[in-house]
Each structure stands twice: as structure tokens, then as C-alpha cells.
Structure 1
Amino acid sequence: MVVMISVENLTKRYGGYTAVDDVSFAVRPGAVTGFLGPNGAGKSTCMRMMCGLTPPTSGTATVLGKPYAALPNPGRHVGVLLDASAQHAGRTGREVLTLGAMVMGIDRSRVDEMLDLVGLSESEASRRIRNYSLGMRQRLGIAHALLGDPQVLILDEPANGLDPAGIRWMRGLLRGYADEGGAVLLSSHLLHEIEVVADELVVIGRGSIVAQGTKAELMAASGTTVRTTDDAAFAGLLQQAGLGVTPTASGLQVEADPLAIGQVAARHGVVLTELRQASSAGLEEMFLQLTAYDAREEVAA
């Protein structure tokens, strides 16, 4: 399998505190990989290590087979957006992109293409960044990440500050980029922001990977929701059949596919009022369970 980003046993310690603990995963071309975890779980630290901004304590991170710092003219290969607020407040949006084009050695006509792509008008592009909203800074940051026509995008919380229309626009942009063969690593602490667009998910909590796989695999792992006229009695029958059952507010969460559950119901004449494969709601429940111990603001990202 072709790998665009490879993270192997990546660890970062600050004194006695371990921010990232033995993290390994890969990002392939043609896919959007969602990097999920609560605030403070270690996502930003991982991404800073991938981009050469924070030295790892141990482990490696490579992009296109090399450490980021070893890439010639890296902006032509990897587009990065780690902090939309870290742009020079006194420059205009156009000036930021023009300077980027000069540094990368690309035609300045690309600046107009990117401004059009991200929906910044001429008047907005001529405005000082100190007068930009966070959503406008995010759009400018995405324009800068795409400026060099890179093969890989590394984006940390790019939906922050975007309104619902902006989030939908961003999803479409990233989906189109991946469909053309690009690789996207997209971090968020909010599952619904990227659940629609992501092909693969990496879930991190307290600095360690707690789950990873395709979206379909993780949804299957979260089981099937079932409701009957007597949930308690049916739970006992399912357990007798060797199936894992967890009562929830919406019925029973069963660690099996709908066919296996339906067969148990048919054998015992149980009336089912609901039977459905885990949906995004099931995926969200799994995400919250996996990261519940780390869902707090105080931990450093």
C-alpha cells in the first residue's frame, strides 16, 4: 500500500508528562483520514512533530518518505494549516499568498486561483488580516496550504470559526482533493465535523491511539441497535446466544450484525420494533466512550 504520511512509535515527553505516547498510523493517497480526539488528547503535538516544528522524544514521522525538514521546497509537496491565527496581522490576505508564492517559486497567478477557490473576494483579500474573522483566516490558511499544489494536506482543526455553509464548503473541497489522489490528514475534536468526509479514522485519547480503521470498520465495531416489546427479556436471550449486549436509553446495543440478532428473535418469536446497523450516532457513542476519560480542557494539546 502506498503511504503518504507514516507515523511510527511517535512519543513526546515534557519532563514527567507524556503528551504523545507511542503513536503509529499511516495516511494513504486518495483518502481523507480523520484524526479525532478531545481537546488536549495530543493531536496538535503529533501534527507539529510531523511538520518538524516539535522534535519527538522518540519515534519517527515521515511525509512522502522523508522527514518534513528534508523535503526540498516543502510547500510544493505538503500543505499545512496548524493555526489560522498565526498569520501576520498587518499584511493583507493577498500579500500573505503572494509572499508564499514567491518563496515557493510559483507563478503569482496561482494567488488569484486560490482566492477564488476559498471564496475570498477582492475586497476581502485587500483587507488587513487583523480585521479578518476567524472563518476568513481559516479560508486564507487553506488557500495558503493549497498554494503549492501539494500532494498531502495536514490540517489542524480547520473548521474552527466556519459557519455551517463554510463547513460544508470545506468538506466538499477536501473530498474533491482526495478524489483526485491527494492525501488529507484532518484533525478535529468534534466527530460530526469530519465524519461525513472521512474515509478512515484515527482516534486518540490521552496521547495514545485508542481506535483506528475505516469508518465502516469502526461503525461495525459499534454494533447494532435493537428494540423490542420486552428489551430486558430479549437481552437475556441474546446473552444466552453468546452476543454482547449493553442496555442504552434507545434500546439495546448488541455486538453483532442485524442478521444474527434477527435469527435469535425469530427462534424465540420476539417482536422487533427497531433493528439497525450502527449509524453515525453509534460511532459518536463509541468515540465518547473511548475518550471519556480525556474529555477535558486542562490538558495541553
Structure 2
Amino acid sequence: MITVENLTKTYGQYRAVDDVSFVCRPGQVTGFLGPNGAGKSTTMRIIAGLTPADSGSATIGGVRYHDIPNPGTQVGVLLDASAQHAGRTGREILAIGAQTMGLSSSRVDEMLELVALTPSESKRRLRDYSLGMRQRLGIAHALLGDPKILILDEPANGLDPAGIHWMRSLLRTYADRGGTVLLSSHLLHEVQIIADELIVIGQGRIVAEGSKDELLAGAGTLVKAVDEQRLAAVLSGAGIAATPAANGGLQADADPAAVGRVVAGTDVVLTELRPADGAGLEEMFLQLTSDTQRENTTIQGASA
């Protein structure tokens, strides 16, 4: 189990992590979400003992990372797939890790097979690996010591669709066997499929936390119409709150049946009506982090 309590980290005048607390439990994949610069990587580095916190604590199984005997056999960490000696081969990198942890050399072959790196690929130097191959090697290194806990920052970065599907299955199986996974990713669709718990961070603070089902249950209804201004007025008149959805239409704070009944007696022509949780994680993410987004998600009309 990973336990973070009142964690704070400041760089000069910038507070990267601001009084953050959460728990990641065995048997679950916890999705750690937030815009760039929100504090995800800093938090994960503190948990892994790579960055000191100004205050608060981060423990793994009740102790700090630095206090874990032979930590690679208890917690696997992948924060940067390129953070290995570029002149070493993939096999050499895993062999050094196995030797450091006191593992049999046969474990290297097991991990290479698990992540689908061929014998010829394992003999290539890291500098000649594609990003996807580096990710696979990084996952192999994280799993090398058969740890109970995984901390992964953007592990799907550089993987093709087949690779992403493979990684999803791997992590789901790992959690189902009792492992604890803390997963940071910008691939919201993948997180929505695999995660059990969600933590959303913005400007260094937790803005939402809970089970995926609980957080997405409040997504309401996605409704679109030919005349969305008229639709908004009808919903407002019926006391149903509605806000613009990220990909068009309105997100109404009511179930689809209630929205349908309100609209049925009007001249509003609907083009879509469904529970919003089909795209719920993206909708929720954009709403919760709207104050911290660099990009304006509304496209303005441009002159020719």
C-alpha cells in the first residue's frame, strides 16, 4: 500500500505539491491524472525517494522508500524509460538490476519474454531502441524483482495500439493478483478502462479523488440538439443545470430519461442523448482542471 500524507514540495516561489494526501490499495490500479505541471511527477519522485519533500510523508508498506531493504523486490518504479546508460544493451541493464537485487540470471530471460523483447533486440544498445522498446525494457526492469507495488509515470508513452493493449492486460492481471499500481497517464481512455480508483491533481492540489464508478456516476447526461441555445433554455426552465461539454453539446445534471421527458413536449430536435459516462473521464478531467489548462478548448472562428 502507498500512503501519502500532507505532502508539500516547493521550488523557490513555486509550490509544485501542496498538502497532497491519498492512499493506493492492494488489488487496485489507481489512476493519477492532471495537466502538465500539476505535480504528478514530483509526487511520484517523492514517493520513490528521488526528491525530498518539504513536509509531509510518503510511505510504501508503512516505511519510506529509503528504509526498504532491497527495495526493487518490494516496489517497481518506472519514471523515465530513457534514464539508463545509453551504451548498455537491454540485457545488460536487466542483468545489472538482477545482480543488484540478488536474483537469478534466469529472471532476465523471463522478463524479456514477458515484455516481448526478442533475443536480438535485447543485445542492442539502449541508444538504438525506439521509445516503445525503451518503455518495454523499463516495465521489465520495474517487474524484475517481482514487487508487490508498481509506480509508473506515463508507461504507455511510445507504445503502439497493440503495445498499449498488452500493457493494460499486464497491469490488470498484476492488480487482480493483489498488486498495488499507481499509474500516471495522459491517455484518459486507457485509464478509464483499467483504473479502479482515480486521483485528479491540479496546481499541486488534489481536486478529486475516489473510485472510478463514484466519480463518473455524477457525469449526468450528454445531450445535443440542432439548436443548443434553445435546448439550454428548455433545460434551465425545467430546473436542470447544464454546462457545455468538451466535445460539443451539453452535459446535463440529470439522467437521460429526465432530460428526454423535459424535451419531449417542446420543439427542440435532439441529435444525441446518452449517459455522459461514455466519455466521462475526459469530461470530468477537463471540468476539474479547467483553471489549470494551458490550452483554450474552445475554437475561435478564424478569418480566411
Please say whether Structure 1 and Structure 2 have the same fold, judged by a TM-score greater than 0.5: yes
Shift of 1:88: 1.1
Count of residues in Structure 1 that have an aligned counterpart in Structure 2: 294
Q: Which amino acid aligns with 1:179?
A: D
Relative distance call for 1:100 and 1:242 in structure 2 (3 A) is: same
Amino acid at match of 1:284: E
Greater RCO (CA < 8 Å, at least 6 residues apart) = 1
Kept in 1, the 8 Å contact 2:222–2:272? The answer is yes
Moved more, 260-269 or 114-123: 260-269
Q: Distance in 2 between matches of 1:5 and 1:290?
A: 24
Stretches of structure 1 that go unaligned for 5 or more consecutive residues are none
Aligned-residue offset at 1:264: 4.0
Which deviations, in whole Å up to 9, do the C-alpha atoms of 1:35-75 show, x marking residues without a partner?
11122111110000001111101111111111111111111
Cα deviation, residue 192, structure 1 = 2.6
Query: Where does the alignment leave 5 or more consecutive residues of structure 2 unmatched?
Result: 296-304
Contact 1:73 1:104 in 2 (8 A): yes
| Equivalent residue number for residue 20 of structure 1 | 17
Q: Residues 109, 219 of structure 1: CA spacing in aligned structure 2 closer, same or farther, 3 A cutoff?
A: same
* Cα separation, 2, equivalents of 1:120 and 1:33: 27
Equivalent position of 1:11 in the other structure:
8
In 2, the alpha carbon distance for the partners of 1:121 and 1:58 equals 45
Deviations 1:222-275 (A, max 9, x none): 221124576555544533443211245643311122344345456889876533
Of stretches 225-234 and 96-105 in structure 1, the one that deviates more from structure 2 is 225-234
1:255 alignment partner in structure 2:
253
Q: Shift of residue 12 of structure 1?
A: 0.2
Alignment-derived partner of residue 164 in structure 1? 161
Q: Aligned to 2:76, what secondary structure does the other structure show?
A: strand
Which amino acid counterpart does residue 251 of structure 1 have in structure 2? G
Shift in Å, 1:144: 0.6
Q: Is the 8 A contact 2:200 2:208 kept in 1?
A: yes
Partner of 1:187: 184
1:67-89 CA deviation, whole Å, 9 max, x = no partner?
11111111111000111111111
Identity %: 68
Equivalent position to 2:104, from 97, 101, 107: 107
Q: Which range moves more in the overlay, 218-227 or 106-115?
A: 218-227
**Residue equivalent to 2:133:** 136
Tell me, yes or no, if the aligned pair for 1:40 and 1:296 is still in contact at 8 Å: no
Match of 2:291 in 1: 293
Alpha-carbon distance between aligned partners in 2 of 1:196 and 1:98, rounded to the nearest angstrom: 34
Instruction: Report if aligned partners of 2:220, 2:277 keep a CA contact under 8 Å in 1.
Output: no
Give the counterpart letter for 1:255 in structure 2. D
